[in-house]
Amino acid sequence: MIGTDAAEGYRRGKTLRLRIELVRQLTRLRTQVTFSLMVLLPVLLWSAFQLTRSGPATGTLSFVDLAKTSGPNFTVFALFASAGFLLVVVVALFFGDTVASEASWSSLRYLLAVPVPRARLLRQKSIVAAGLSVTAILLLPAVSLLVGTLAYGESDLVSPTGEALRFSVAAGRILLAALYIAVHLSWIAGLALLLSVSTNAPLGAVGGAVMASIVSQILDSITALEDLRDYLPTHYATAWADLLAEQVNWGDMIRGVFSALAYGAVFACLAVWRFAYKDITS
């Protein structure tokens, strides 16, 4: 706590500026690898489709068959393939690594000795982590739409039920789907941040958040739990699929946003409280 003997010129609000923290995170290898993966994944999917032989005609189209019909369908396939695990790992990585990595490098106490107020340090790092997470989530469908359009054209988005959306409408729906995924994963962000301020092991914080998501998905698949599944943080993870219909049902997405933000807010508040009273030794 700074009293009247603070150094001349010291301003709490000028410490650890967002631009400085953003540059620090962008120069890290894990950030560069993550964004490279978001760009390469659509190319890898397209390459895999090129190597896959078409099966015998059965009268129905699989998700892979649909993915080859247009750019929007290819993008939707990429989102379905990555939203349940890969994007969870991305968000958990940016938030779970943010404070725990400083502790593991023994640099956290020096940052606080600058001195950077604890609440400001956590806020600045969280803002940067959120920006990187949202950028990565939006980058995947953007590149997927580009690759898919170049490979399969600008045809309509066709859902498994046979409904079709023209390209411009489909592109807008895909953007909304990516934004929904980003908001829904706010609960992962909050949990990873809480774990990050609770441990000095970045891998533990990231892995803990990912494991929580996996356990929640497993529990959500147990139909015997009935209505209790509505309270699981992953229950509405795929609600964005409703955007693929001509007439959008917003009910599950609204409930999903409320659930994710509620969980995220609770975890974030716990993280702030935990960090405020944590004994920093590294």
Residue 227's contacts (CB-CB under 8 Å, 6 or more residues apart) are: none
Question: For residues 231 and 223, what is the distance between their CA atoms, to the nearest angstrom?
Answer: 13
pLDDT value for 159: 80
Q: Could you tell me the two tokens for 152?
A: 């399969």
Q: Could you tell me the two tokens for 107?
A: 């640099």
Residue 100's contacts (CB-CB under 8 Å, 6 or more residues apart) are: 195, 196, 197, 199, 200, 201, 202, 204, 205
By percentage, how much of the chain surpasses pLDDT 90? Answer: 63
**Residue 144's closest CA among 86, 84, 80, 71?**
71
Question: For residues 134 and 132, what is the distance between their CA atoms, to the nearest angstrom?
Answer: 6
Give the pLDDT band (50/70/90) at residue 281: low
Mean pLDDT of 88-110: 83
Is-contact 156 48, C-beta < 8 A?
no
Q: Domain map of the chain by residue range?
A: 15-46+61-276
pLDDT at 99 over 50: yes
pLDDT value for 102: 77
Mean pLDDT of 131-140: 96
Identify the top-confidence range among 154-158, 159-163, 254-258: 254-258
Least confident stretch, 32-46, 58-72, 169-183: 58-72
